[in-house]
Structure formats: C-alpha cells, structure tokens
Amino acid sequence: MAKQTWNATRISYWQKQRAAGKWRFVRKYGARWGILMFIAFMIFHLITRVNFNSPDWQAQLWASIITNLITWSIGGLLFGLVVWYTNERSFRRFQQQQQASSASSDSSTND
C-alpha cells in the first residue's frame, strides 16, 4: 500500500471521521464497497454461473444472491475495519512525529 502524506485537508477529514466514530465510518465506507462488490459479482454470476436454460435457474439465482449478500456484507465490514485501523495507525504515527519534531524544536530553542 502506498504511503500517504498528511496534509491539512486529510487531517481535517480524518478528524471529522474520528469524531463521528469507528462504526459509522465502517458502515458508510464498508457498505459502499460491499454494495459495489455485490453488484459486480452478481453480474459476473449472472453471466457465468446461472444457467437460464436449466429448470432450476431460479434456485441457482437465489443461491447466488444469498451467497453474494453474505459474502460481501462480511467483506464490506472487514474492508471498513481495515481502512479505519490503517488510517488510525497512520494518523497516530503522524501525530507522534509532529510531537517529536515539536519537542525537539522546543528543546533546541531553550538551549
């Protein structure tokens, strides 16, 4: 994963996300990703897996829908959590670096 820099816009954005809370972030971004993946894989399954010439095509379709709903609901939740914790870790490291550089500049001005 590419290392992202923390500029003023990103800091402000992440502080707002943090204030709203982890689970709201996970629902918002994890659900978006999960819905997109659900749609993509449903299209894929409709093209490749569901045999509309078969007498049980409706059962195949429902099995695909249920499987994809479960898979991408869990996947979206996990995706949202991974993004949250990745951003949190990166933001905390950034804050520690800022504090360290601030402390070192304070100690050098006191000398």
* pLDDT number for residue 85: 97
Q: Is 52 within a domain?
A: yes
* pLDDT number for residue 103: 81
Phi/psi of residue 2, each to 5°? -70, 140
Q: Is 4 within a domain?
A: no
Q: Is 99 within a domain?
A: no
Instruction: State the residue range of the domain holding 49.
Output: 22-89
pTM comes to 0.80
Q: Is 74 within a domain?
A: yes
Reading the chain (111 residues) residue by residue, the pLDDT tens digits are 556 789 999 999 999 999 999 999 999 999 999 999 999 999 999 999 888 999 999 999 999 999 999 999 999 999 999 999 999 999 999 999 999 988 877 666 655
* pLDDT number for residue 107: 67
- C-alpha radius of gyration, the chain, whole number: 22
Tally the domains of the chain.
1
* pLDDT number for residue 105: 74
Yes or no: say if 85 and 31 are a contact pair by the CB < 8 Å rule. Answer: no
Q: Is 108 within a domain?
A: no
Q: Is 36 within a domain?
A: yes
* pLDDT number for residue 3: 67
CB-side neighbour CA atoms (13 Å) of 104: 6
* pLDDT number for residue 110: 59
Q: Is 16 within a domain?
A: no
Closest among 44, 21, 22, 39 to 75, alpha carbons compared:
39
* pLDDT number for residue 49: 86
Q: Is 51 within a domain?
A: yes
